[in-house]
Amino acid sequence: MGKLVLASASPRREELLKQLKLQFTIVPSRIDESQFNGLKPVDMVEKLAFAKAESVSELVEEAIIIAADTVIVAQDRVLNKPEDAEDAKNMLSALSGKEHQVITGVAVMNSETDEYLVEHNITSVFMEEISEEEIDKYLETGEPMDKAGAYAIQGFGSLFVREIKGSYYSVVGLPLNQLSKMLKKFNYGIL
């Protein structure tokens, strides 16, 4: 069994793996994510997760690589990270009082054998009505700016989430139950 590598600069994904007491190194992928724009959301996150894993597999030897990508889909529109505060405000207004889906693609790859698995998780999130004042105060925290859909369920954004159906960890950015099953197929048991 090789070493474990997280192909991500996401502090949230790093924190989730640390929670599980896993020993891993971080090697962020350097792919141009814009080349995947325009794909259907499930295809986009799966292809992006695979591309991230594949690019990092060329940089490390004898490693099991974990890569992921998350998007928010609201009213058939993909919401990535906001470009600026106005974009974040528009996203939060669009999510207010409605249901949306969080889709996370996960890839696990063995850099030695090039074997890989790619899967996705879809979780529905139901938001409370968010007033303009609440949106403005939330923007002041800075939290929305590097999050798909402009909110963090594990932070202040939790105040707006009424209910979820699916994996909380997928909404954070890495569905741990699903990842565990994928790693087992590579003979990498977490427990």
Q: Are 126 and 48 in contact (CB under 8 A)?
A: no
Torsion of CA 65, 2, 15, 151, to 10 degrees: 10
Best CA proximity match to 67, nearest among 27, 114, 15: 27
User: Is the Cβ–Cβ distance between 157 and 151 less than 8 Å?
Assistant: yes
Extract the tokens encoding 102.
């969080």
Is residue 180 classed exposed, middle or buried when 0-12, 13-18 and 19+ CB atoms within 10 A define those classes? middle
* Catalytic member of 43, 69, 84, 114: 69
The DSSP element (H or E) to which 48 belongs, if any, is helix 41-57
Instruction: Write the burial class of residue 77 (CB in 10 Å: 0-12 exposed, 13-18 middle, 19+ buried).
Output: exposed
Rg, the chain, Cα only = 17
Residues 6+ apart with CB under 8 A from 164: 123, 124, 125, 126, 153, 171
Is 69 annotated as catalytic? yes
Residues catalogued as catalytic: 69
